């Protein structure tokens, strides 16, 4: 029998303290009871045997498309059977935090079979010692065994000698509920080049926006500036590993802080989110980063931050009523370090409370998505990683 991880949410989900912007030195909120009527939830394994799975997408036929960080993309049958890796992937600089990372189906995938994926791209002549995050477009073959017409449509510049902080979450932008033909890509600052997050001539530590063909949208905020790369949407990010469109239709991201100071932001065009000038984190081992300040004019405050760090990865908003009306519109975030999920209450564009979800899961959570069935699906990051489905427990 497959194991089941269960949590009586209504009775036992502890509400954690919360540091809330925009105050520069925000005070934690007092704990309050979980919402009445919240369901009990259990995590049921759908598949296992995945090697460091990183991202998940849902195919129209009920199967799953999963990336594995060492450099494989494969289909998982609805019954959990793993199919052979797809052929046709480009060269990947797998190692450290790099590899094959996010995947996103085109909003018209059922017709055009187009998908997008991001990965750590080697430097010139296949040199993996220098690399950067790249975004590619491809088409899934009719027999679903290979990628066709693979084309890199964006490549982070410059290439850099690092195996850290690739970022790499993809979101298709929507306006009035319809795709506007552009993609957001969240990019890390490669760790040792953190000051580049403020440099508009570098893609490090940025959210970029490009057309589905790699073109630069005419209304990007820095397109007309000679001193800036035209793909940049926002700057001052550290290492974003969660991104999704919220109920408000806007882009939300979360990013890793160094030692504390993980953040949730809602990147707006041309805005500066502060890293590394302002942060609620500190250097590994202790000590202030830069001037040790948490606010500065011209830099945005996070909507929410975690101290201590949970190492967030993956983000989804609940749009269905499968977990009851109280959860609809709320955010679920995975945690690598804390080996659990969190459910965050979102009201009027603000994070107002945070609840432990599956605190006894005991596995690093890399991705969380809402499926077409309205249920949440989770990937656990391990050599024997799992795909889990979160089901309301029968009462």
- The catalytic site residues sit at 165
Q: For tokens 């995938």, what's the residue? A: 109
Contact by Cβ (8 Å): 160, 191: no
* β-pairing verdict for 167-175 and 312-317: unpaired
Dig out the tokens for 208 from the structure: 């970029």
- Maximum separation of any 2 CA atoms in the chain, in Å: 62
Place of tokens 């459910």: 343
Q: How far is CA 212 from CA 24, 114, 127, 179, 262, in A?
A: 38, 10, 27, 11, 30
Rg, Å, the chain Cα set: 20
360: left (phi over 0), alpha (psi -120 to 50) or beta: alpha
Q: How would you class 185 by CB atoms within 10 Å of its CB: exposed for 0-12, middle for 13-18, buried for 19 or more?
A: buried
Contacts of 40 (CB under 8 A, 6+ apart): 6, 7, 8, 9, 10, 392, 393, 395
Q: Distance between CA atoms of 364 and 337, rounded to whole angstroms?
A: 7
Q: In what order do the strands lie in the sheet with 114-122?
A: 100-105, 114-122, 131-140, 147-155
Question: What is the token pair recorded at 378?
Answer: 């989770």
Q: Enter the tokens of residue 266.
A: 């809602």
Give the 3-state DSSP-derived string for 26-41, with helices as H, strands as E and coil as C: CCCCCCCCCCCCCCCE
193 vs 339: CA distance, rounded Å = 28
Closest CA to 262 of 240, 291, 292, 293: 240
Closest Cα partner for 205 from 221, 220, 218, 192? 192
| Residue for token pair 């603000």 | 350
What DSSP state is assigned to residue 293?
B
- Polymer length of the chain: 395
């Amino acid at each position: 029998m497959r194991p089941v991880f269960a949590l009586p949410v209504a009775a036992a989900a502890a509400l954690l303290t919360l540091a809330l912007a925009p105050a520069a030195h925000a005070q934690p909120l007092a704990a309050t009871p979980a919402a009445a009527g919240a369901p009990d939830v259990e995590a049921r394994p759908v598949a296992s045997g995945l090697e460091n799975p990183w991202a998940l997408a849902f195919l129209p036929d009920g199967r799953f498309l999963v990336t594995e960080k060492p450099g494989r993309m494969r289909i998982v049958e609805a019954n959990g059977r793993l199919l052979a890796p797809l052929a046709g992937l480009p060269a990947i600089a797998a190692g450290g935090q790099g590899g094959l990372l996010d995947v996103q189906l085109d909003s018209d995938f059922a017709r055009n079979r187009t998908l997008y994926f991001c990965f750590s791209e080697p430097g010139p002549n296949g040199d993996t010692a220098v690399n950067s995050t790249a975004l590619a477009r491809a088409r899934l073959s009719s027999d679903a065994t290979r990628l066709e017409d693979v084309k890199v449509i964006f490549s982070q510049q410059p290439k850099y000698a690092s195996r850290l902080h690739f970022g790499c979450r993809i979101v298709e932008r929507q306006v009035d509920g319809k795709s506007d033909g552009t993609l957001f890509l969240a990019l890390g600052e490669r760790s040792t080049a953190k000051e580049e997050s403020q440099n508009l001539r570098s893609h490090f530590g940025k959210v970029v926006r490009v057309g589905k063909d790699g073109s630069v949208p005419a209304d990007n905020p820095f397109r007309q500036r000679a001193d800036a790369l035209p793909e940049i949407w926002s700057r001052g990010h550290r290492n974003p590993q969660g991104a999704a469109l919220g109920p408000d239709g806007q882009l939300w991201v979360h990013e890793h802080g160094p030692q504390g100071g993980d953040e949730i932001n809602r990147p707006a065009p041309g805005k500066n989110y502060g890293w590394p000038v302002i942060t609620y984190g500190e250097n590994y081992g202790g000590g202030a980063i830069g001037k040790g300040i948490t606010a500065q004019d011209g830099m945005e405050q996070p909507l929410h931050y975690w101290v201590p760090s949970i190492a967030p990865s993956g983000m989804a908003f609940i749009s269905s009523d499968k977990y009851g009306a109280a959860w609809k519109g709320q955010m679920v975030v995975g945690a690598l370090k804390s080996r659990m999920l969190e459910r965050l209450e979102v009201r009027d564009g603000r994070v107002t409370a945070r609840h432990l979800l599956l605190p006894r899961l005991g596995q690093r959570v890399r991705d969380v998505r809402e499926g077409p069935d309205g249920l949440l699906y989770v990937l656990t990051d391990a050599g024997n990683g799992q795909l889990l489905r979160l089901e309301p427990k029968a009462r």
